[in-house]
C-alpha cells in the first residue's frame, strides 16, 4: 500500500524540529559539464552526517511512549547505526546497536560518541539479526530496520520535500539506491509535493539488485558485492519495493571508476566532503546525459561519513 499525502505531510512536520534543513548547492561548471541544471541537496551536512537521521527520528517518534522508554535496537555497521544512536540520545532513550566485528573502529567510535550501546556479532546478516532478536527479547526494545520500515521511509523522504519547497520547478530527482528507503521516500515526496517529477535511482553496477528487481518485478539479491559505495550493498524490502515499482521512473547503473570520478568532481567543484555512495546519483546523471539534458534536476547527496585516510583518489 502506498502511503497517503497526509502520511507524508505528517512525517515532514514531525521530523522538522529535530533535523537540519540542509542547504542546496549549485555549480555553473557542473551544469555545463552535464547539460542539466543541477540542484544538490546536501544531506552530508545533516546531523550525524547523513540523511538517515530523518528516518531514525521519525520512526522513534512514532513509537508509543511506553515502547519508546524501553529503547530501540538495530543492526548496522554504518550511517543508520549512528543515526539511531543520536536520535535516541536526543530523545533520552537507550539505543542498542549490533555491529559486525569487522566494522571500522572509526564507525564504532562514532556510535559510542552518540550514546549507542554496541554489541559485536559475527559479520553475517544472519548473526546480526539473531543478536538483535536476543536483545529485543531481553530488553523489550523495538527493532528499527534501516530501510524497510514505513516510518523510516517517510522520514527519509523529507529531504526531497525540502528540496521541492525550495525549487518547485524541478523536473527530475535522483537519489542513490541501496536498501531503498531514500529512493522510496523521495518518490513519495515527488508524487505529493512535485509537479510531474520523474524520480530515478543511481546504483553501482557491481551491486545492481535494485535495477534487476525493478525490471523483473520481483526482489532480487546479490550473491557477491564489490563496490566502493559501501552504503549501497544492501537490498530492497517488501515495504519499499512496491513504492519504488509504482513511482520510480528508472534505475541507472554506474561502474566503479564512474563513481570515483563523480566523487572527485564534487569534492573539487562543490568544495564539500561526500562519501562514495553519495556520488552515485551524480555519476548516473553524467552517464545518461541524454535523459537529463536541459532539465532541472535535484540530486540528494546522501552523506559525508567517509574515512579520510582511505580516499579513492
pLDDT tens by residue, the chain, 313 residues: 899 999 999 999 999 999 999 999 999 999 999 999 999 999 999 999 999 999 999 999 999 999 999 999 999 878 999 999 999 999 999 999 999 888 878 889 999 999 999 999 998 878 989 999 999 999 999 999 999 999 999 999 999 999 999 999 999 999 999 999 999 999 999 999 999 999 999 999 999 999 999 999 999 998 888 899 988 888 999 999 999 999 999 999 999 999 999 999 999 999 999 999 999 999 999 999 999 999 999 999 999 988 888 899 9
Q: Bridge-partner residues for 204, per DSSP?
A: 254
In terms of residue numbers, what domain contains 96? Answer: 71-140
| Residues 172, 126 share a domain | no
Domain identity same for 279 and 226: yes
Give pTM, 2 decimals: 0.96
Packing angle of the helix pair 5-15, 52-61 (nearest 10 deg)? 100
Alpha helices in the chain (DSSP H): 5-15, 28-34, 52-61, 65-69, 79-91, 105-113, 125-139, 150-156, 158-166, 181-193, 209-216, 241-247, 256-270, 276-287, 289-292
Whether residues 162 and 270 fall in one domain: yes
Q: How many domains does the chain have?
A: 2
Of 103, 120, 140, which residue sits at a domain end? Answer: 140
Q: Indicate whether 189 and 252 sit together in one domain.
A: yes
Q: Which whole-number Å values give the CA distances from 94 to 51, 61, 81, 107, 142, in the listed order? A: 21, 14, 13, 18, 11
Residues 195 and 251 reside in one and the same domain: yes
- Strand 37-42 and strand 24-25: the pairing is antiparallel
Handedness of CA 149, 155, 161, 163 (dihedral sign): negative
Residue 276 domain flag? yes
Amino acid at each position: 500500500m502506498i502511503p497517503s499525502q497526509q502520511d507524508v505531510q505528517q512525517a515532514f512536520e514531525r521530523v522538522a524540529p529535530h533535523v537540519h534543513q540542509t542547504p542546496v548547492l549549485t555549480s555553473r561548471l557542473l551544469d555545463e559539464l552535464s547539460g542539466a541544471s543541477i540542484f544538490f541537496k546536501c544531506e552530508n551536512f545533516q546531523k550525524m552526517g547523513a540523511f538517515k537521521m530523518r528516518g531514525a527520528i521519525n520512526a522513534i517518534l512514532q513509537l508509543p511512549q511506553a515502547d519508546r522508554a524501553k529503547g530501540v535496537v538495530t543492526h548496522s555497521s554504518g550511517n543508520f547505526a549512528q543515526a539511531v544512536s543520536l536520535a535516541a540520545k536526543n530523545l533520552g532513550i537507550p539505543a542498542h546497536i549490533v555491529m559486525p566485528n569487522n566494522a571500522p573502529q572509526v564507525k564504532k567510535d562514532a556510535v559510542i560518541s552518540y550514546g549507542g550501546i554496541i554489541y559485536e556479532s559475527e559479520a553475517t546478516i544472519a548473526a546480526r539479526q539473531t543478536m538483535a532478536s536476543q536483545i529485543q527479547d531481553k530488553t523489550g526494545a523495538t527493532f528499527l530496520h534501516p530501510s524497510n520500515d514505513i516510518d523510516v521511509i517517510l522520514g527519509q523522504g523529507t529531504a526531497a520535500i525540502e528540496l521541492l519547497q525550495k525549487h518547485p520547478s524541478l523536473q527530475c530527482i535522483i537519489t542513490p539506491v541501496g536498501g531503498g528507503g531514500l529512493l522510496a521516500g523521495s518518490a513519495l515526496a515527488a508524487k505529493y509535493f512535485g509537479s510531474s517529477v520523474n524520480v530515478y535511482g543511481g546504483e553501482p553496477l557491481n551491486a545492481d539488485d535494485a535495477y534487476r528487481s525493478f525490471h523483473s518485478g520481483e526482489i532480487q539479491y546479490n550473491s557477491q558485492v564489490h563496490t566502493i559505495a559501501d552504503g549501497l550493498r544492501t537490498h530492497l524490502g517488501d515495504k519499499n519495493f512496491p513504492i519504488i515499482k509504482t513511482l520510480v521512473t528508472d534505475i541507472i547503473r554506474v561502474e566503479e571508476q564512474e563513481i570515483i570520478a563523480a566523487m572527485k568532481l564534487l569534492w573539487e567543484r562543490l568544495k564539500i566532503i561526500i562519501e562514495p555512495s553519495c556520488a552515485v546519483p551524480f555519476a548516473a546523471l553524467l552517464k545518461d546525459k541524454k535523459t537529463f539534458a536541459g532539465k532541472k534536476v535535484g540530486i540528494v547527496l546522501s552523506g559525508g561519513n567517509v574515512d579520510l585516510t582511505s580516499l579513492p583518489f
